[in-house]
């Protein structure tokens, strides 16, 4: 039996475990990336480990999330990250250089390498054949120190593309189509490989859009072959020597095979408030639009921006629409400027935002109250835009432009003929905004610069053999990390200050939760299906841990979040019988006894002291995960070992 692309990379990086689906494996990590919303905490964790230098082939710290500096907090965090990077052997991408995934794809990603990043959209690197995965900051810190990254061996899915995209239908529509087919939880426990004759028609930026959006499927990662299209992309970046060919074996076996016919695909749109709430754009014809945002790590490449410029050239957006454009990197912005395309964008009435995540993470450019915002982003979770009652839709750049020009949701095929886009053979290379670390022999002289907003890493408690605690919160299905620990311009500056950040925990669900959790001292949270989907932000585990949450009981978890809970010393448990979810209410007093024995058996029996119900909870932990929980989290476990 042959191997898939992902299996080949896993085999070449396997430190321990066997490649049996469902078993735990340890992988050697070649590259890491962080961004500033998660990076400060990751580097505080790295410092706590007492290591002098990173041991990866390449680690890069990006400043792309917290770029609004309305106070000292973000600037202090950036200064701290820059000094840590200089001292410990990490490359530092300065503010304005671009979004981590776009820049990493352009300048650092290599086919066949492993990459983990403290951002859930790190699978963007799969567009050039990397095994790229989102992870919690602590997992990234351990990998930077030379430690293994542990995952559950995934299943393998294959998506075969047939035919060729028609004008005004793009890679974003392919992403929305697979979300329509599988849903936001349909990829859990799997790696998705893209193949078929249709992939030969897709450039690396288009492939990267698809692997970026694969995160919304809940999958471990997505990956494309590394082929001649990959070689040409790397050559255009002056990096042809980084190319290696990667393809699956002809007799590779997949757990699921899906086919998408590109010839018949039409423009699609994800409606509020989930990326899988997908319908045809034409079905929403005439819906008034207030705001359009083009950019984010999903659709901010030079190809995307040249399309936008060509469609806007000589036209003016509707007075009722506010349009923002955010190029993904300094390279993209400077090339747009050099060729005149930037002038076409600005002449249309668009507002140019900096090369950063910006509105996607709720960092500025929020919609008006009850406004309709069309965005080329990857998430449209409720409240994520910064406006609680906004209706956010996810679209392609073509559909976004059509809405900006007409003032309503419009099928972009009605715009006429699609202009021909000619991509340059050679891209503009300027890495001056990436600062090299200090040489190891002189790094001792570098001082770490800390601002007053940077607080120590919170201390977790060891999991004991029994737990008696009250349910501090009960929530429903598809609770995202934005529900648990919101982002946005008002909150993100406090990512390195867990005590202050804690007052916003679960604010979207219940503003009284933080105070209630503090009063209880120790408590348990109960949730539904796919709890913790979305971002890799470990703050969604660290802050509940700080507030005394000792266990989270759900119908099912998202992959990265369950790992973050274990890393924080919080026990993640699932109902053996999903209907038992209805037997627990907020305020109920629960007891868990013989936890250690239950961990070994895979079942812990919960007693609801309030109503007398006994409920079986599943806890399929590896020996390593049990040890982490008993130690009080990954940081304590790493120190002990």
Q: How confident is the model at residue 250 (pLDDT cuts 50, 70, 90)?
A: very high
Complete DSSP assignment for 287-328: -B--EEEE-TTTS-SHHHHHHHHHHHTT----TT-EEEE--S
Closest Cα partner for 559 from 149, 108, 165, 234?
A: 149
Which residue, 413, 432, 450, sits at the end of a domain?
Answer: 413
Q: Is residue 435 part of a domain?
A: no
Are 127 and 211 a contacting pair, CB within 8 Å? yes
Tell me which DSSP letter residue 282 carries: G
Are 85 and 93 a contacting pair, CB within 8 Å? no
Same domain, 255 and 275: no
Same domain, 547 and 629: yes
**Taking residues 298-324, what's their average pLDDT?**
97
pLDDT at 562 over 90: yes
Same domain, 165 and 274: no
Q: How many CA atoms lie within 13 A of 202 on its CB side?
A: 32
Q: Is residue 164 part of a domain?
A: yes
Same domain, 531 and 576: yes
pLDDT at 641 over 80: no
Which residue, 388, 413, 438, sits at the end of a domain?
Answer: 413
Helix, strand, or coil (residue 111): coil
Q: What is the total count of domains within the chain?
A: 3
Which residue, 236, 264, 292, sits at the end of a domain?
Answer: 264
Q: How confident is the model at residue 635 (pLDDT cuts 50, 70, 90)?
A: confident
The confidence score (pLDDT) of residue 638 equals 83
Who's near 567: CB < 8 A, 6+ residues apart? 136, 138, 139, 538, 541, 628, 633, 634, 635
Who's near 46: CB < 8 A, 6+ residues apart? 54, 84, 88, 141, 144, 145
Same domain, 257 and 272: no
**Taking residues 585-591, what's their average pLDDT?**
97
CATH number for the domain that contains residue 564: 3.20.19.10
Are 106 and 60 a contacting pair, CB within 8 Å? no
Q: Is residue 458 part of a domain?
A: no
CA distance 368 to 466: 49
Are 184 and 151 a contacting pair, CB within 8 Å? no
Same domain, 251 and 395: no
Q: How many CA atoms lie within 13 A of 641 on its CB side?
A: 12
Q: Is residue 364 part of a domain?
A: yes
Helix orientation angle between 100-107 and 330-339, rounded to the nearest 10 degrees? 80
The confidence score (pLDDT) of residue 640 equals 79
Are 580 and 615 a contacting pair, CB within 8 Å? yes
Beta bridge partners of 132: 115
Buried-state track 374-409, b at ≥16 Cβ within 10 A, e below 16: bbbbbbbbbbbbbbeebbbbbbbbbbbbbbbbbbbb
Sheet hosting strand 91-93, strand order edge to edge? 131-134, 114-117, 31-35, 58-62, 91-93, 434-435
Same domain, 129 and 208: yes
**Taking residues 303-332, what's their average pLDDT?**
98
Name the least confident of 353-357, 413-417, 577-581, 636-640.
636-640
CA distance 340 to 348: 13
Q: Could you tell me the sign of the dihedral formed by the alpha carbons of 9, 10, 16, 19, in that order?
A: negative
pLDDT at 235 over 80: yes
Buried-state track 107-144, b at ≥16 Cβ within 10 A, e below 16: bbbbbbbbbbbbbbbbbbbbbbbbbbbbbbbbbbbbbb
CA distance 174 to 177: 5
Residue 353 to residues 243, 300, 310, 346, 431: CA-CA distances in angstroms? 33, 12, 19, 11, 21
Who's near 169: CB < 8 A, 6+ residues apart? 262, 265, 266, 267, 396, 398
Domain assignment of residue 604, given as a range? 467-636
Q: Taking CA 526 as the corner, what is the angle to CA 538 and CA 517, rounded to the nearest 5 degrees?
A: 70
pLDDT at 328 over 80: yes
Q: Is residue 230 part of a domain?
A: yes
Closest Cα partner for 379 from 397, 362, 354, 363?
A: 362
What integer best gives the mean pLDDT of the chain? Answer: 95
pLDDT at 68 over 90: no
Beta bridge partners of 352: 325
Q: Is residue 457 part of a domain?
A: no
Question: Model confidence over 359-390: pLDDT tens digits?
Answer: 998 888 999 999 999 999 999 988 888 898 99
Q: Distance between alpha carbon 587 and the CA centroid of its chain, in Å?
A: 33
Helix orientation angle between 204-213 and 171-182, rounded to the nearest 10 degrees? 30
Same domain, 49 and 92: yes
Who's near 385: CB < 8 A, 6+ residues apart? 359, 362, 366, 367, 373, 375, 392
Neighbour count for residue 104 (Cβ, 10 Å): 27
Q: Is residue 421 part of a domain?
A: no
pLDDT at 245 over 90: yes
The confidence score (pLDDT) of residue 1 equals 85
Complete DSSP assignment for 540-607: HHHHHHHTTEEEEEES-B-HHHHHHHHHTTPEEEEESSGGGGGG--TT-EEEE--HHHHHHHTEEEEE
The confidence score (pLDDT) of residue 490 equals 82
Place of tokens 């002291």: 609
Same domain, 231 and 376: no
pLDDT at 120 over 80: yes
Q: How confident is the model at residue 259 (pLDDT cuts 50, 70, 90)?
A: very high
Q: Distance between alpha carbon 570 and the CA centroid of its chain, in Å?
A: 22
CA distance 113 to 104: 13
pTM of this prediction exceeds 0.85: yes
CA distance 386 to 175: 25
Question: Model confidence over 497-554: pLDDT tens digits?
Answer: 999 999 999 998 999 999 999 999 999 999 999 999 988 889 999 999 999 999 999 9
Alpha helices in 183-265 (DSSP H): 204-213, 228-236
Tell me which DSSP letter residue 528 carries: -
Q: Is residue 534 part of a domain?
A: yes
Same domain, 302 and 203: no
Question: Model confidence over 426-485: pLDDT tens digits?
Answer: 999 999 999 999 999 999 999 999 999 888 878 889 999 999 999 999 999 999 999 999
**Taking residues 339-349, what's their average pLDDT?**
98
Which pair of structure tokens corresponds to residue 191? 């790696």
Tell me which DSSP letter residue 446 carries: P
In percent, the amount of the chain with pLDDT more than 90 equals 89
Same domain, 400 and 537: no
The confidence score (pLDDT) of residue 639 equals 78
CATH number for the domain that contains residue 172: 3.30.499.10
Burial of 423 (0-12, 13-18, 19+ CB in 10 A): middle
| Selected residue with higher pLDDT from 35 and 495 | 35
Same domain, 306 and 213: no
């Amino acid at each position: 039996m042959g191997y898939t692309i992902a299996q080949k990379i896993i085999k070449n990086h396997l430190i321990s475990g066997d490649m049996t689906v469902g078993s735990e494996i340890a992988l050697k990590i070649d590259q890491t990336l962080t961004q500033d919303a998660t990076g400060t905490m990751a580097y505080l964790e790295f410092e706590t480990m007492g290591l002098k230098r990173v041991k990866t082939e390449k680690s890069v710290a990006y400043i792309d999330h917290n770029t609004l500096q309305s106070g000292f907090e973000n600037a202090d965090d950036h200064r701290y990250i820059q000094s840590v990077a200089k001292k410990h052997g990490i490359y530092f991408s300065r503010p304005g250089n671009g979004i981590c995934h776009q820049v990493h794809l352009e300048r650092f990603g290599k086919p066949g390498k492993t990459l983990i990043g403290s951002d859930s959209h790190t699978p963007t690197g799969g567009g050039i054949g990397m095994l790229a995965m989102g992870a919690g900051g602590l997992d990234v810190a351990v990998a930077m120190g030379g430690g293994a990254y542990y995952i559950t061996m995934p299943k393998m899915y294959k998506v075969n593309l047939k035919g060729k995209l028609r004008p005004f239908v793009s890679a974003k529509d392919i992403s929305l189509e697979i979300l329509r087919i599988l849903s936001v939880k349909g990829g859990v426990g799997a790696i998705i490989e893209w193949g078929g004759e249709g992939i030969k028609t897709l450039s690396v930026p288009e492939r990267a859009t698809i692997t970026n959006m694969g995160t919304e499927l809940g999958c471990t990662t997505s990956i494309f072959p590394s082929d001649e299209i990959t070689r040409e992309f790397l050559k255009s970046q002056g990096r042809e020597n980084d190319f290696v060919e990667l393809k699956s074996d002809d007799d590779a076996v997949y757990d699921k095979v899906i086919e998408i016919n590109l010839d018949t695909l039409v423009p699609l749109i994800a409606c509020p408030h989930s990326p899988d709430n997908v319908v045809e754009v034409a079905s929403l014809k005439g819906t008034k639009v207030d705001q359009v945002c083009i950019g984010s790590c999903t659709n901010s490449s030079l190809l995307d921006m040249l399309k936008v410029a060509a469609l806007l050239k000589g036209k003016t957006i509707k007075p009722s629409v506010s349009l923002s454009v955010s190029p993904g990197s300094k390279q993209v912005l400077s090339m747009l400027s050099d060729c005149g395309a930037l002038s076409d964008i600005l002449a249309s009435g668009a507002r140019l935002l900096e090369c950063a995540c910006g509105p996607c993470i709720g960092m500025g450019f929020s919609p008006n109250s009850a406004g309709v915002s069309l965005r080329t982003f990857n998430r449209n979770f409720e409240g994520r835009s910064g406006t609680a009652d906004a209706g956010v839709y996810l679209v392609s750049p073509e559909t976004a432009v059509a809405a900006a020009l007409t003032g309503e949701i419009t099928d972009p095929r009605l715009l006429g003929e699609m202009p021909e886009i000619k991509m340059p053979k050679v891209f503009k290379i300027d890495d001056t905004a990436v600062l090299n670390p200090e040489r190891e022999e002189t790094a001792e002289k570098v001082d770490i610069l800390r601002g007053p907003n940077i607080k120590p890493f919170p201390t977790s408690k060891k999991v004991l053999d029994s737990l008696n605690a009250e349910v501090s919160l009960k929530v429903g299905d598809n609770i995202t990390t934005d529900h648990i620990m919101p982002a946005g311009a008002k909150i993100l500056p406090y990512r390195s200050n867990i005590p202050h950040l804690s007052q916003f925990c679960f604010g979207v669900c219940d503003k009284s939760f933080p105070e209630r959790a503090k009063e209880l001292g120790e408590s348990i949270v109960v949730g539904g299906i796919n709890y913790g989907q979305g971002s890799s932000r470990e703050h969604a585990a660290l802050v509940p841990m700080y507030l005394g949450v000792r266990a989270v009981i759900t119908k099912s978890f998202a992959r990265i979040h369950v790992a973050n809970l274990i890393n924080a010393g919080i026990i993640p448990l699932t109902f053996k019988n999903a209907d038992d979810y209805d037997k627990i209410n907020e305020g109920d007093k629960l007891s868990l006894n013989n936890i250690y024995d239950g961990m070994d058996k895979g079942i812990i029996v919960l007693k609801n002291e309030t109503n007398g119900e006994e409920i079986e909870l599943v806890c399929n932990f590896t020996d390593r995960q049990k040890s982490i929980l008993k130690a009080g989290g990954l940081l304590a476990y790493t120190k002990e070992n």
